Amino acid sequence: MLKAPDYQVAGHKALDGQLGPLVDGSGRFYKPFQKDERGVQEVAFYTTFSSNTKILDHIRRFFPIFYGTQLVEASDGSGLCPHIVLQDLISNRIHLSIMDIKIGSRTWYPQASEDYFQKCIKKDRETTTVPLGFRISGLQAYESEESGFWKPNRKHVLDFTMNDVRSALRKFVSSNPSSDAEPDCSYASIVYGGSTGILAQLLELKAWFEDQTVFHFYSCSVLMLYEKQAVLEGRSDAEVKLVDFAHVFDGEGVIDHNFLGGLCSLIKFISEILTSPDQFSVKGGLQDSENNCFCSENSIKE
């Protein structure tokens, strides 16, 4: 039986008669086709990506598995609707901490209409998208059975300043995210650090984006997620995934500098937390991050 995913922190939700994604509880995620050809565009990307034999398995693991399309009952009650069927990235997790980060200093694509361009550029300028090269779209961090999740509302997240972003990235790996006290970053070394942590995975993605010229990703998100119980047991199950491909276009042999720059900026922020977990720096920005993103590899070492 399909239901709305309870872990969704960004995007349109299948609640209160709204159209949104559904899950079946057995590992599959059903995303309704978006309007204005966006659904067709996303299916075209998944089809092309899945059949591209030049993309290695260590890169494919950052993308949800694509199972095709299927007609299912829409969550808004409008009847049968085409859905993209994907791997449910969260199906085996209970107390999930997750952050959705939209990557790139511009979310509009070259072929966008004037109305869409104006809508995107307004939001990009009003958020950290332009100065940082990314913005946090939503997040939740599991604290405890008593406190539950720390999950700031969407409007508050869209109003994040540069320092709010730093604070959120620190709270995300802290045992006291909902507290007014300084984030303790007690999980940073396990979740962000180590040879299999989030930073190592982001650096692996960065290496691919430094070379790949097949795709240009606009308005695409990086998901960072982990299970707190695993961290308490001293092991990392942290994962990085890429999602939302309605605006992916042919790279035409050119490196995707928009996505790469935002990725470098995010890497810089996370590297700073690992290097100085007890310090709250006020430096940073897209320019600074691009100049320093090649110096982050040392931060993943134990």
Residue 223 pLDDT greater than 60, yes or no = yes
Percent of the chain with pLDDT over 90: 64
Give 24-44 pLDDT, tens digit per residue. Answer: 888 899 998 887 788 899 999
126-130, 162-166, 216-220, 273-277: least confident range: 273-277
Three-state DSSP at 238 gives: coil
Q: What residues pair up with 222 in beta bridges, in sequence order?
A: 101, 242
For residue 296, the model assigns a pLDDT of: 39
Give 97-120 pLDDT, tens digit per residue. Answer: 999 999 999 999 988 899 999 999
- Sign of dihedral through CA atoms 69, 75, 78, 79? positive
Q: Which of 44, 61, 50, 101 is nearest to 219 (CA)?
A: 101
Q: To which H or E segment does residue 141 belong?
A: strand 134-144
Confidence band (pLDDT; 50, 70, 90) for 181? confident
For residue 9, the model assigns a pLDDT of: 60
For residue 300, the model assigns a pLDDT of: 43
In sequence order, the 6+-apart residues with CB closer than 8 A to the CB of 127 are 135, 158, 159, 160
Give the whole-angstrom CA distance, residue 298 versus residue 288: 18
3-state helix, strand, coil in the chain (%, to 5): 35, 20, 45
Q: Are 261 and 133 in contact (CB under 8 A)?
A: yes
In sequence order, the 6+-apart residues with CB closer than 8 A to the CB of 54 are 214
* Domains and their CATH numbers in the chain: 22-87 (no CATH), 96-278 (3.30.470.160)
Half-sphere exposure at residue 156, Cβ-oriented, CA atoms within 13 angstroms: 9
Average pLDDT, the chain: 87
